[in-house]
Amino acid sequence: MNSRVFQLLVVLVVVVFCISGAMAAEVHQAAFPLHAKVVARNVHRNTAVPPAAGVYGEAAEFIGSPYADSWITLNGDNSALWPCFGGSTDASGDGAKADCEFAGDPQQYLPYNAMVTGVPSYTWDLTACDQTSTSSPLCGQASWQYEDDTGDSVDDLTVYVQATQGTATVLNNGTYDVGPNALGYGAALGYSIIWSDPTGLGTMGQTGKNNGNCTPDIGYPLTSPSFPGAYLVSAGKTCVAPTQGVVAWEIITEWGTPVYTKQTTASKCPGVGAPCYTVAWTSKYKLTQKFNTYLEDF
C-alpha cells in the first residue's frame, strides 16, 4: 500500500459543536487527514434574499504542511496541527476548541471566526515536493474554501484533486465520495467549508497506473447499490516525477445523485468479486477551483 493510499484510506469522523447558537462541524481522517471544517458565519440575516442556490468559491492555494518537520506532532484526536479553528464566542473562552484554543501575545482565546493555517506560496522546492519513495515527507497542503448555499444535504458530496505539468500528471486523487452532504445542514445557508489535503507530488518510486500520488480505488467497486461509507474511485492515471516549472492544480467539489450500475463479470469487480456495483453521479452543483504553483530546483 503506498503512502497516498494511507493518507486517504479513512473512516470519516464528524464532530459537531455550537457557535453562537449555530452549528459547526469538522470532518477529518484518522491520520494524515483530508480535513473539512464548517464555519457557521450567520451571513444570511435576510433569508428572503439569499444568493442563488449554489456553491461559491472563496480561495484555493497550496500552503505549508504541518508534516514537513519531524518535531510537529498530531493533535490528540489524530488531526493535523493545522488547519485548526477557534471556537470562543467571548473573553471567557466559551466554546473554545482544545486543538486551537489560544493565540496571541499576551495569550487570548482564539475566536470562532478565526483559524491557524500554513503560509501559502507560489514557489516551492522541487526536491522537497518530489516524493521519490513511500517514506518521502509531504511538502505542502492543497487547501480550498467555499460557501455552501446549496441547501442540499441529500446528494453525495464528492471531491476531486489533480495536479499536472502540461499533459503529465504529478498528482491525482480520483473522486472521493464522502456521502450525503453532511456539511450544509439541510436548508441552512451560508456555511463556509474549508478543506485541506496534505500531499507531495510524483511517483514515490513506483511505476504503472495508480502509482505514487495517483491514488487507486479505495473501497470500490461497491458490494451493494448504496453508500457504504467514504470511498474513492480512481481516475486510472499514471503519475510521473515533477520537474522544474509550473504545476496546474484543479479541485472539483460536486454535489450529485449517485446512479449505481450492477456489474456481473469478474473483470468489472476486482477485489470484491461479482456481482458488484459501479457508480456515476448526476451533477446538481459543481465548483471548479484552479490555481498554479511553481517548482524551482534550488
Instruction: Tell me which residues of the chain have a pLDDT lower than 50.
Output: 1-3, 5-33, 42, 45, 185-186
pLDDT for residue 48: 58
Cβ burial 38-76 (10 Å sphere, 16+ → b, else e): bbbeeebeeeeeeeeebbeeeebbbbbbbbbeeeeebbe
pLDDT for residue 104: 86
Task: Please report, as a single letter, which amino acid is at residue 137.
Answer: P
pLDDT in tens, 14-57: 332 222 223 333 333 323 346 666 665 545 545 556 677 788 99
User: For the whole model, what pTM was predicted?
Assistant: 0.84
Asked if 234 and 243 count as a contact pair (C-beta separation under 8 A), the reply is no
CA nearest to 215, candidates 204, 225, 224, 226: 204
- The whole-angstrom separation of Cα 103 and Cα 118 is 15
CA nearest to 129, candidates 239, 242, 246, 205: 242
- The whole-angstrom separation of Cα 218 and Cα 81 is 26
- The whole-angstrom separation of Cα 115 and Cα 87 is 9
- Phi, psi of 266, rounded to the nearest 5 degrees: -60, -35
E-strand ranges in the chain read 13-19, 22-28, 35-40, 54-64, 84-85, 102-103, 108-109, 115-116, 123-125, 140-149, 156-165, 168-180, 191-199, 231-233, 245-263, 276-296
pLDDT for residue 92: 64
pLDDT for residue 3: 42
